[in-house]
Structure 1
Amino acid sequence: MEEGKRERLMLLGVPVDIFSSQQAFRDYVVALASNGKSSQIVFLTYSLLMKAQRNPVIMQIFHDAALVLPAEPSVIKGLSFVYRNNYRAIIPVDVIISMLSTLEELPNRSVYLLGGTKKTVTTTYHNLKGSYPRLLFVGYHQGSMKADQEHDVIEAIRKASPSILIISKGIKKHEQWMYLHRNEFKPGLTLYCRECFDVFCGKKKRPTERELQNRGGIKLSRLLHYPIYGIMLMGNRWKLKRAERHE
C-alpha cells in the first residue's frame, strides 16, 4: 500500500487516521492482518478524546494503536477546524463489515467474538458465520464474566489465535482491557465497538449518517465542555501553524 493513501493527523495530541479511499483502507487492513503483530483498532469519540487529555494511559493507548478512526461528528469538526479541510466521520459497524469482507478474501482467516449477552453474542456468531462462509469463526463468549472466568476466556482466545477479535459491550474499561491484554492476542487485530453485536443480531438497525450526526443529543455536560473544546482546538491550530512556519 502507498503510505500517501493513509494520513495520520494529530488532534489535541491524539493521532487520527484518515484514508483517501475505501480501497486504501482495505489495503491497510490486509497489511495489518499480515504483519504478524498484535494490532489494536480504536474508534475515537469526543468522550475518549477528552479522557485522553487527563489520563496518560488512554493517551498511550491511542499512540500505540495501529489505527485510530474518527467516530463522532465532534471529532471530525475538530479535525476540520484544525486542518482547514473537510473530513467525514465513519460508522463503526460499516468499518467492521468492510474488515470482515476484506479478511474473507485472504486464506485461513478467523474471528472471535467477545461481549454482549449470551443470547446476543450467540445470535451474532451464527449470523456472521452465515454471512461470511469463508471465514473461520473460532469462538465466542458473553461480555459479563466473573473475575475467576476472565483468565479462562483470555486463554481460550489465545489458543484460538483469531485473525480478528471483535469486542462489544459488557467488558469493563474496554479500550484499557484490550490494551492490557494485547500481547496475549497476537498476532491479530483487536477492536471494540459498543453496539455492533446489537446490529448484527438484529436488535438494532444500522445507524445512518444522519443518526450519527445527531448522536448524543444536547447534553448539559457537553454544552459545558464544548467552549473548552473550542479553546483547545484553537491552541492546536495555532501550534500547527507555528510548526508549519518553522519547517
Structure 2
Amino acid sequence: MSQIHLEDGVRQVPVTSILGVNVSKLGMRDTVDVLERAVASGKPHQIITANPIMIMAALESEDNMRAMREAELIVPDGAGVVWAAEEFGDPVAERVAGFDLLHELMKRGEQLGWTAYLLGAAEEVVQEAASRLQNQYPKVRIVGVRNGYFGESENAGVIEHIRQAKPDLLFVARDAKTQEPWIARHKQELGAAVIMGVGGSFDVISGKTKRAPVFMQKLRLEWFYRLAKEPSRLPRMMALPRFMQTVKKAKKSTE
C-alpha cells in the first residue's frame, strides 16, 4: 500500500496511483480528521480536489504535475477518478467532492473555532459566498475575502493580506489552469495551514449556479449536468474521454 506523509506528525495516508498521481484512499470523515491535524500543525498543506480534467492537465503541463507531486493531499473529487481507481484494482473508499469537503471543514471549524479566508471568483460572487458561509457557520470567523482577478504584479499584496489575516483555512477559486500551480508556488508564504482549491464552489454557494441533483451525483453524472447547463464547457470536457482512454491503455500495459 502506497502512502504519503503529511508534515509535523500528521498521520500517514494510504494512496492509490492514478496515471502517476497519488490520490488519497480515505473517505470524507477520515479526510477531515487528517486535515484537523494539519490545522493543528500550523504548517502549510495544499489540498487538491482531483478530477480527470486536472489529472490530464498534469500529464500535459509540468507546472500542474509539479503541483500534484508537491501537494500534501490529493482527494478523489471527480467520479472519473473513483472509476479509475477501481479500474486499476486499488479503489478509494468513496468520492470526496471538494464542495462537500469545504462544508465538512467549515463544520469542523465550528467545533474548533477555526478561521477562514475566501480568495477567488468575481467580487459579488465571493462576497455573497462569504456572507452565506458566515451565516451558516457563525462560529467560523471569516477573516478575509478577495476576488480572484489579480495578476503577477499584485501577488505580493494579496499574499501579504492573507498572511496578516492568519486563516486556518484558505479556499482558493481561480482559473482552472493556474489555481493549483499558484497555490503550490506560494503556499509557504500564505501562512494558512490548509489551502484548498475549490474551483466553482463559490458560484454554487453564492447561488449564482446550481449543483447537480443528488441522484445525478450518485449516478456519477454531475459532469453531464454541468455540461448541459454550460455547453461552453464542451472543449474542456473533451479531456474526459481522453482520460478514460489513457486509463484503459495504462491498465492494459500492466496486465
Cα offsets for 1:172-215 (capped at 9, x unmatched): 61110111111112341111111111111112223345444221
Aligned positions, number: 234
Encode CA deviations 1:29-87: one digit per residue, 9 max, x unaligned. Answer: 21111112100000111122123224343223222212111122221111001125475
Instruction: Report the identity percentage.
Output: 21
Pairs within 5 Å for 1:219-238: 222-223=240-241, 226-235=244-253, 237-238=254-255
Deviation at 1:125, TM superposition (A): 1.1
Answer yes or no: is the 8 Å Cα contact 1:29–1:102 preserved in 2: no
Residue 119 of structure 2 aligns with an amino acid whose one-letter code is L
1:112 matched to 2:130? The reply is no
Q: Which residue of 2 aligns with 1:94?
A: 100
Q: SS of the counterpart of 1:150?
A: helix
1:23-172 alignment to 2 at 5 Å?
23-83=29-89, 85=91, 87-107=93-113, 109-170=114-175
In 1, the alpha carbon distance for the partners of 2:47 and 2:97 equals: 14
Q: Which amino acid aligns with 2:46?
A: Q
The question of whether the paired residues in 1 share the 8 Å contact of 2:56 and 2:243 is answered with no
1:171 Cα deviation from its structure 2 partner:
7.7
Provide the rounded CA distance (Å) in 2 between the counterparts of 1:19 and 1:225.
22
For residue 18 of structure 2, what is the aligned residue in structure 1?
11
Task: Tell me the residue number matched to 2:187.
Answer: 182
Structure 2: 5+ residue runs without aligned partners? 1-8, 228-233
For the 8 Å contact 1:79–1:87, the answer to whether it is kept is no
| TM-score for both structures, normalised by structure 2 | 0.81
| Cα separation, partners in 2 of 1:230 and 1:100, compared to 1, 3 Å | same
After alignment, is 76-85 or 132-141 more displaced? Answer: 76-85
Counterparts of 1:26 and 1:224, CA distance in 2? 31
Opposite residue 229 of structure 1, the aligned amino acid is V
Separation of aligned partners in 2, 1:77 and 1:12: 13
Shift of 1:13: 1.3
Aligned counterpart, 1:243 = none
Contact 1:115-1:171 at 8 Å conserved across structures: no
1:245 aligned residue: none
CA contact (8 A) 1:143 1:171 kept: no
Unmatched tracts of structure 1, length 5 or more: 239-247
Residues 150-190 of structure 1, C-alpha deviations (whole Å, 9 max, x = no match) = 32111101111110110113586111011111111234111
**Equivalent residues of 2:47, 2:194 under 8 A apart:** yes
Give the letter for the 1:233 counterpart: K
Q: Out of 81-90 and 94-103, give the one that drifted further.
A: 81-90
Bigger shift: residues 218-227 or 35-44? 218-227
Contact 2:16 2:92 in 1 (8 A): no
Between 73-82 and 200-209, the greater mean CA deviation after superposition: 200-209
Give the superposed CA RMSD: 2.6
Deviates more, 1:77-86 or 1:115-124: 77-86
| Maintained 8 Å contact 1:42/1:69 | yes
Distance 2:238 2:21 in 1: 25
The residue type paired with residue 48 of structure 1 is M
